[in-house]
A = this chain, B = another copy of it.
Amino acid sequence: MRWDTLEDEQCSLARTVAVIGDRWSLLVLRECFLRVRRFEEFQSRLSITRHLLADRLKKFVKFGVLRKVKYQDRPARYEYILTQRGLDLYPIVMSIVHWGDTHMVDERGRPLLHQHKNCGNFFDPVMICSECGEPLSAKQVHTHPGPGAPQSPAASEA
């Protein structure tokens, strides 16, 4: 599949996948949320090839997930900082981490614990319905074509 075919699809999942849907993008993103900002630091922490790292960073900037901020002149050096759009990816990252914590840990347990500054507790992320506040599960959701739907696909459950 070529990179650029996905973002034109009439599906929000496909369009997001065009931005973050590959191994390295998600790992780079993880580092961003761990406050990593510079080329060399990404590279040494991830052992990603420099070519791919340059590529992913460029893509994130293009899609407005990261922005380049100059931190010195002569030579001009930039840091890659999460934009609001990038910060909004946090639920994706957290839900991925949480699934791994639940289903892929070995006998030693979780590699990372998360503490909520608000309440001070260690927590898990929970996804709820914005309207009634109940936890969401796939079986309790109906989907309907929206205004941006292709032609008129039948409504289905998911």
Contact = CB atoms under 8 A, between A and B. Distances in A.
Interface of A: 1, 6-7, 10-24, 26-27, 30, 33-35, 48, 64, 82, 85, 87-106, 108-119, 121-132, 134, 136-150, 156-158
Ranked nearest first, the 4 interchain pairs of A and B with the lowest CB-CB distance are A12-B100, A119-B132, A109-B147, A121-B131
A57 to B, nearest CB: 17
Given A12-B110, A148-B110, A130 B126 contact: yes
Given A103-B85, A128-B125, A145 B17 contact: no
Contact of A148 (B7, B106, B136): B106
Given A11-B111, A113-B144, A132-B116, A16 B104 contact: yes
Contact of A147 (B10, B102, B110, B131): B110
A135 to B, nearest CB: 9
Given A12-B100, A118-B140, A121-B129, 14 more contacts: A1-B24, A13-B27, A14-B100, A16-B99, A17-B96, A88-B103, A94-B136, A114-B143, A115-B144, A116-B136, A118-B132, A122-B144, A123-B129, A123-B131
